[in-house]
Amino acid sequence: MGNTVIVGTQWGDEGKGKIVDLLSEHADYVVRFQGGNNAGHTMVVNGKEIISHLVPSGIIQQKKCFIGNGVVVDPLVLLEEIEYLLSNDIDASPAMLKISNRAHIIMPYHKLIDNARETDKGDKKIGTTGRGIGPCYEDKATRRGIRFCDLLDFDFFKEKVRIILKEKNFYLKNYFKSQTIDPETIINSFEQIRKRLLPYIADVSVILFEGINNDKRVLFEGAQGTHLDIEHGTYPFVTSSSVVSGNAANGSGVGPANLNEIIGIVKAYTTRVGAGPFPTELFDDIGDKIQQTGSEFGATTGRKRRCGWLDMVVLRNAVRLNSLTGLAITKLDVLDDLDEIKICTGYQYNGTEIQDFPAEIKILQSCIPVYESHPGWKEDISGITKFDDLPENAKKYLARIEKLCSVRIKIVSVGPGREATIIKEKIFN
Ligand code: GDP
Ligand code: IMO
Ligand code: MG
């Protein structure tokens, strides 16, 4: 029994939303601790698909949800999402959802700058989601950010907006030759936004502390994946926040001793959206087949996801960086039709085998994956709910993954629906 962190181990879209929804049943509180609406987390319940970008996936099970101080929040997207949830009969009122007073606000100029920079970079672009994530975190670090608590004192908010826009408009106009923004237009739009969001603003850290002291169980919902982490990912082809489990504490305002179980979500193969190195990427029919069978399109931008084989250099890196105590393997069913399934066990670089994920992008780009081959199971596993009922070759594939990274698999997901799940080992008692 304990507080559990869910993190992506690859480049995002591992199926975190599905697993958080599933485990929310056993939690009292569900907290997002980093990222913003660059995330797209999909839940499928009774055949109905719900995608959340900002509100923790625990809202579907109607658990108390929190947006932590480490998240960057676009207030318009949040309000839209609250409406969307309400229209699906999911209560996302202030009684169910709180936003940290310390969370930073994604402002209209953040989105403009994000997109202007990407256009400016041309074919060297990162392939961001264009949601203003990087520029917002940048302002946080340079101490120019606007926080939710600033909305409580609207005169202070107005003053901050007017000051910061002088600099932003200079940059937009003179560097990008782009449109500028009238501060009064922003201020006017925030009159309404503010009124609607004020009841949601709270000191999330204090509420979580009190809850934990009263035996409430907390589920921390990571966004993105370990290899998009600003510190440890394929820099600069990363997002702008720390994605790894250690940040679950910092990004929600609880101490690290409160993190008890850390589950890494692992897609049974690998995908990546946007630019950046991806050693096991497939450029052949098998890659296309995985992309189609897995419906690998981004839940936020709709972009086609690049697909490739499972990479154990990546997974072992995630095991080390996150202190993983268990794995959830998702989308195993997507491999049902394949004759042969490969696992990358290491990289060849300049005639030597590399086991550790390199920091240098140029080295990573030149790494050649070393593969071992496994026979497929050629059977529809999407209806299986007991581990023992899986085909032998599927069990062998899973056992090999466990062996290669020394972490036990606790959950196997065989379909998008909540019911298409095999619990191998209980996470919550
Ligand atoms: P997240 O960002 O990690 O929450 O993942 P996304 O929601 O962006 O992408 C995962 C996609 O795979 C979604 O469309 C899910 O509905 C779907 N999915 C999750 N688990 C499974 C699974 O085990 N099998 C199949 N076929 N689809 C799954
Ligand atoms: P979830 O939570 C997959 C990628 C973008 C881009 C890079 C930087 O659904 O797994 P950003 O807009 O964050 O500055 O873009 O990070 N990216 C994701 N890829 N899943 C995500 O979230 C992602 N969030 C950001 O595609 O390559
Ligand atoms: Mg996603």
DSSP secondary structure string for all residues of 32-64: E-SB-TT--EEEEETTEEEEESSS-GGGTTT-E
Is the Cβ–Cβ distance between 172 and 72 less than 8 Å?
Answer: no
Same domain, 116 and 152: yes
The candidate with the shortest Cα–Cα distance to 137, out of 45, 232, 69, 54, is 69
- Measured CA to CA, the distance from residue 97 to residue 32 in angstroms comes to 11
Same domain, 79 and 207: yes
Same domain, 125 and 190: yes
What per-residue confidence (pLDDT) applies to 271?
98
Instruction: Select from 16, 37, 38, 271 the residue to mutate for testing ligand 2; criterion: most ligand atoms less than 8 Å from CB.
Output: 38
Same domain, 180 and 306: no
Cβ–ligand 1 contact at 414 (below 6 Å): yes
| Residue 413's CATH number | 3.90.170.10
Task: Answer with the one of 174, 197, 220 that is the final residue of a domain.
Answer: 197
Same domain, 342 and 368: yes
User: Domain for residue 154, yes or no?
Assistant: yes
What per-residue confidence (pLDDT) applies to 1?
53
Task: Answer with the one of 171, 197, 223 that is the final residue of a domain.
Answer: 197
CA 24 to chain centre: 17
Write out residues in the chain with pLDDT < 50, as ranges: none
- Measured CA to CA, the distance from residue 16 to residue 9 in angstroms comes to 10
Total number of domains in the chain: 3
**Tens digit of pLDDT for each residue in 358-368?**
999 999 999 99
**Integer CA distances (angstroms), 168 to 1, 71, 176, 232, 245, in order:** 48, 22, 11, 29, 33
User: Domain for residue 428, yes or no?
Assistant: no
What per-residue confidence (pLDDT) applies to 161?
98
Mean pLDDT over each residue of the chain, to the nearest integer: 97
The set of catalytic residues is 13, 41
User: Domain for residue 157, yes or no?
Assistant: yes
Cβ–ligand 1 contact at 32 (below 6 Å): no
What per-residue confidence (pLDDT) applies to 299?
80
Is the Cβ–Cβ distance between 108 and 186 less than 8 Å?
Answer: yes
User: Domain for residue 169, yes or no?
Assistant: yes
Same domain, 306 and 379: yes
**Tens digit of pLDDT for each residue in 13-52?**
999 999 999 999 999 999 999 999 999 999 999 999 999 9
User: Domain for residue 238, yes or no?
Assistant: yes
Task: Answer with the one of 181, 197, 213 that is the final residue of a domain.
Answer: 197
Residue 97: HSE in the Cβ half-sphere, 13 Å Cα cutoff:
27
| Residue 33's CATH number | 3.40.440.10
* Shortest-distance Cα residue to atom 15 of ligand 2: 128
How would you class 370 by CB atoms within 10 Å of its CB: exposed for 0-12, middle for 13-18, buried for 19 or more? middle
Decide the pairing of beta strands 270-272 and 306-308: antiparallel
Same domain, 329 and 240: no
User: Domain for residue 20, yes or no?
Assistant: yes
Instruction: Select from 263, 272, 331 the residue to mutate for testing ligand 1; criterion: most ligand atoms less than 8 Å from CB.
Output: 331
Question: Residue 114 belongs to what H/E stretch?
Answer: helix 108-121
| Residue 173's CATH number | 1.10.300.10
The one-character DSSP state at 253 is T
What per-residue confidence (pLDDT) applies to 145?
98
Same domain, 336 and 378: yes
232 CA to middle of ligand 1, Å? Answer: 24
* Shortest-distance Cα residue to atom 13 of ligand 1: 42
Contacts with 75 (C-beta within 8 Å, 6 or more apart), sequence order: 105, 106, 190, 193, 197
Residues whose beta carbon lies within 6 Å of some atom of ligand 2:
8, 11-13, 38-41, 126-129, 131, 133-134, 223-225, 228, 239-240, 273-274, 299
Cβ–ligand 1 contact at 240 (below 6 Å): no
User: Domain for residue 429, yes or no?
Assistant: no
- Measured CA to CA, the distance from residue 251 to residue 224 in angstroms comes to 14
Atom of ligand 2 nearest to the CA of 131: 12
Structure tokens at 19: 């697993």
The candidate with the shortest Cα–Cα distance to 132, out of 150, 117, 148, is 117
- Measured CA to CA, the distance from residue 76 to residue 303 in angstroms comes to 22
Among the bound ligands, the one closest to the CA of 39: 2
Is the Cβ–Cβ distance between 11 and 305 less than 8 Å?
Answer: no
Same domain, 95 and 216: yes
Cβ–ligand 1 contact at 305 (below 6 Å): no
Same domain, 27 and 91: yes
CA 41 to chain centre: 8
Same domain, 366 and 300: yes
| Torsion sign, CA atoms 401, 402, 408, 410 | positive
Same domain, 123 and 188: yes
Count of CB atoms situated within 10 Å of the CB of 147: 19
User: Domain for residue 228, yes or no?
Assistant: yes
* Shortest-distance Cα residue to atom 20 of ligand 1: 416
Which residue range is the domain that position 66 belongs to? 4-100+202-261
